[in-house]
A and B are shown apart, each in its own frame.
Chain A
Amino acid sequence: GAVVSQHPSWVICKSGTSVKIECRSLDFQATTMFWYRQFPKQSLMLMATSNEGSKATYEQGVEKDKFLINHASLTLSTLTVTSAHPEDSSFYICSASRGGGNQPQHFGDGTRLSIL
C-alpha cells in the first residue's frame, strides 16, 4: 500500500504559461501532502505543506502567489506554477501522509518541468 501518483511526469512549456501538477494518493487517504523542489544532484527542498481543506503553509522564500497549492480532497493535491519562467525549471516532487504524529511520507515519482 501507500502508492502516490504524480502527473504529468514531464512537461515542457513556453515562458509565461501556467502549469498544473497533480498528486494523488491511490490507496490511502492523505490528510497532509507536501511539495518539494529538487535541483540536479541536490537534496529535496520543502516548498509547502498542505492539509486537506486548509490553506497551504509555505516555507520561507517560497512565493505563495507563484506556486498555488490546492488540497481539496483526501486523495488529491495540485501545484500550479503560475506564469512560469526558465528559472522555475526543476524537478517537483510531492509526498502524501496519512496524518497524525510522524506518519511516513510516501513520494510520487516527480514532475520534470522545463520552461523554454
Chain B
Amino acid sequence: GENVEQHPSTLSVQEGDSAVIKCTYSDSASNYFPWYKQELGKGPQLIIDIRSNVGEKKDQRIAVTLNKTAKHFSLHITETQPEDSAVYFCAASPAHGGATNKLIFGTGTLLAVQP
C-alpha cells in the first residue's frame, strides 16, 4: 500500500524567511496530493492541493511542487508570519478509480515561526 514520508519533523524559521517541507510517496499511481495545516486542538485545514497532471501550484504565499518521476512533493511558504506556526501534514491519495479515495498522511511537521 501507499506510504508517505515527511521531513523535517520540526522546523524553526525567522519571521519573513521561507519554509520548505518535503514529502515522498511510494505508490506511483497516487494522483492527488493535499496539504493540511493543523492548529492545536483543531482539525486539519486544507491549504493547498495538487493533482498529478500539474507540476506546480501557487496560492499567494503558499506553493506546492510535484515531481512524479521522483515521487516527491513539497510545500513552500514564503514570507512566513507567526500565524503560520502550526503542524503541517502532507497526504497522498492512492488511485483506485471511482469513488472518493482515502488519504494516506505523512507524519507531520511542526513549524515554528519566530517573531
Contacts and interface: CB of A to CB of B under 8 A. Distances in A.
B41 to A, nearest CB: 8
Interface on chain B toward A: helix, strand, loop, or mixed SS?
A: loop
A31 B99 contact: yes
A46 B106 contact: no
B44 A99 contact: no
A104 to B, nearest CB: 5
Interface string B84-98: 000001000100011
Given A43-B108, A107-B36, A101 B46 contact: no
20 contacts: A31-B99, A32-B100, A34-B103, A43-B107, A44-B105, A46-B104, A49-B102, A93-B43, A93-B44, A99-B99, A102-B31, A102-B93, A104-B34, A107-B36, A107-B43, A107-B45, A109-B42, A109-B43, A110-B41, A110-B42
Contacts of B45: 107
Interface residues of B, number: 26
A107 B38 CA distance: 10
A44 B42 CA distance: 13
Given A43-B107, A46-B102, A97-B100, A102 B32 contact: yes
